[in-house]
Structure 1
């Protein structure tokens, strides 16, 4: 992804746009080591998005990511390890990557106060992330016994 492929105002508008599931199909929340991409669309169906859920086996963490325009990461919530920004500032765990013009998703911020109502609960964190990303009609995600 080219860092300059999207203006900051366009990226902000895409993140703020109301989104909904692209289909009624059910998708299974991934097991440890698994990853899924859930297709989303804008309410007017002019823009396509993807909600990515990645469950890392080694760190036993789950990451959530919202992409627009197929490849542009608009927001990513990370729980794995602290992140060092391009200016050298270290951001703790969890942190939120947001698209920044000229840097793509290489810039992280502390999670906004109140964004995560139960950081230890993967289902609630997914819900909170979808609220943050303005997913108004949520995908049909099924959870297994160990999710």
Structure 2
């Protein structure tokens, strides 16, 4: 369990994605994991991107601290409402930000932090920037799923 100060330190440290020149938001049912390291080389992270295989709009972006296996920040774009520990109902899209004593159990509306929540590529770029990634690839792609109507 991290303290809020430890979380803030991890969130605010500059980070780099390892060996990545392009990001393709995964196809339904798939997950992409990006290895990330702090610039001072002392902390390792994963950024994971997951796309639900049934509800194609249900996409999750998450920043995980590897040493403690702690989810630090997570965006849920679709799915059921989330209920915070105090009973408050938060509709998707929403963001979970680590809170001491609760982990990632608290959520707030995504538009409280990000202004462009409809463009998945821009949102991923903004999420990586929010996680303090300093070498975000310029080539981020989203391939829509075509369905037969």
Shorter-normalised TM range: 0.7 to 0.9
Q: Count how many residue pairs are aligned between Structure 1 and Structure 2.
A: 142
- TM-score by structure 1 length? 0.85
Q: For residues 29 and 92 of structure 1, what CA distance do their matches in structure 2 show? A: 23
Which structure 2 segments of 5+ residues have no match? none
- Tell me what 2:77 maps to: 79
Indicate conservation of the 8 Å contact 1:38/1:139, yes or no.
no
Indicate conservation of the 8 Å contact 1:29/1:141, yes or no.
no
Q: Deviations over 1:121-146 (max 9, x none)?
A: 21111111111111111258663643
Q: Deviations over 1:28-68 (max 9, x none)?
A: 43101111110011111111111010101222221100011
Q: For residues 140 and 111 of structure 2, what CA distance do their matches in structure 1 show? A: 27
- TM-score by structure 2 length? 0.83
Q: For residues 120 and 99 of structure 2, what CA distance do their matches in structure 1 show? A: 26
- Tell me what 2:7 maps to: 11
Q: Does residue 1:59 correspond to 2:46, yes or no? A: no
Indicate conservation of the 8 Å contact 2:121/2:142, yes or no.
no
Q: Does residue 1:23 correspond to 2:22, yes or no? A: no
Q: Deviations over 1:71-104 (max 9, x none)?
A: 1100001112321011101112211101111111
The SS at the match of 2:8 is helix
Q: For residues 128 and 140 of structure 1, what CA distance do their matches in structure 2 show? A: 12
Q: Does residue 1:34 correspond to 2:41, yes or no? A: no
Say which of 118, 121, 127 aligns to 1:120. 118
Instruction: Indicate how the Cα distance of structure 1 residues 112 and 52 shifts in structure 2: closer, same or farther if over 3 A, else same.
Output: same
- For the aligned residues, what is the CA RMSD? 2.1
Indicate conservation of the 8 Å contact 2:120/2:142, yes or no.
no
Mapping for residues 98-109 of structure 1, pairs under 5 Å: 98-109=97-108
